[in-house]
Structure 1
Amino acid sequence: MRRSERKREVPDLGILSSRTLFSVQKELFSRLSETGHSQVRPRHGAVLAYLDVEGSRASDLAAQSGQHKQVIGTLVDELVALGYVERQPDPADRRAKLIVPTELGRDHMVKSDAILVEMEAEHARAVGEEAYAEFKRVFQLVAERQTRTK
């Protein structure tokens, strides 16, 4: 059996993870576009998915998303230009900056969260509530273990 055939029939963790990520991103960003957020791209999720409503430091976003701080800086620049976030002084450390969502950014975050809840409910209905809950539990364990072994 050729490698590509084997990978199709018995996909490994990397293939399953990437298929899931890309499929979730495609549906999420398509649905977000329908709600008025057509300029945001999946790459912006490295900021918006981890951003606190009160604001986050770029270094924290980098650590949470697994991206380099320089990548986060570029994404923040793009999101500032699009009107989704702004940089503000960190009240805890005036030398540092917080990345804070604007009203548009908060709207995106609320809609994104709601869409993801709907998507998860659809999966739970399709495979069964208990099976989906167990899948999420195990997937989280695998993700945490993989993160620790980096």
Structure 2
Amino acid sequence: MADPDLGMLTGRLLFSIQQELFDTLAEQGHPDVRPRHGAVLAYLDTEGTRATDLAQRSGQHKQIIGTIADELEKLGYVQRRPDPRDRRAKLIVPSERGIDEITKARAILAGVEHRHRTALGDDAYTTFKDTFQQVTRLQRAWRDNPAPTGE
């Protein structure tokens, strides 16, 4: 079989990290959180974040963020509050349960990174992460700078 392409590699990495993260979160008291909830929880500020900002940060549509926030509100992870800077707007604010999940998720992911940094060595891991961030930025800009088609 040929070497896996970038899409296959990133998919494998994403799904493996998600499996470890969400299995561990379930063991630590958060069995109802799903990978899709990360589009909100991973990008929330403790003082609250507007849905439009969450959409921009996560790369999801605002409507999807709204649906996920509805789910998380029913599960007790977030609350909606008026934005003190603009009473017409709402902030999505993590509840105590949400803060607990966010704190645990960050610790789990820090452990994953530490494990890989230890296995690869500090220099190799730093190079990998810097390069991965650069590829991610380049990919996110594909609409603005499409690659030549060779025509």
**What TM-score results when the alignment is normalised by the length of structure 1?**
0.93
CA distance in 2 between partners of 1:114 and 1:98 (Å): 25
Instruction: Please say if 1:56 is aligned against 2:49.
Output: yes
More helix by share: 1
CA distance in 2 between partners of 1:96 and 1:149 (Å): 31
**Cα deviation, residue 66, structure 1:** 0.9
Instruction: Please say if 1:115 is aligned against 2:90.
Output: no
**Cα deviation, residue 141, structure 1:** 0.7
Matching residue within 4, 8, 22 for 1:11: 4
Structure 1 stretches of 5 or more lacking a match?
Answer: none
Instruction: In structure 1, give the amino acid aligned to 2:48.
Output: G
Instruction: Please say if 1:130 is aligned against 2:128.
Output: no
Identify the residue that residue 79 of structure 2 maps to in structure 1. 86
Runs of 4+ that moved beyond 3 A = none
Instruction: Please say if 1:101 is aligned against 2:112.
Output: no
RMSD of Structure 2 on Structure 1 (CA): 0.8
CA distance in 2 between partners of 1:103 and 1:26 (Å): 24
Structure 2 stretches of 5 or more lacking a match?
Answer: 144-151
Identify the residue that residue 64 of structure 2 maps to in structure 1. 71
Instruction: In structure 2, give the amino acid aligned to 1:113.
Output: R
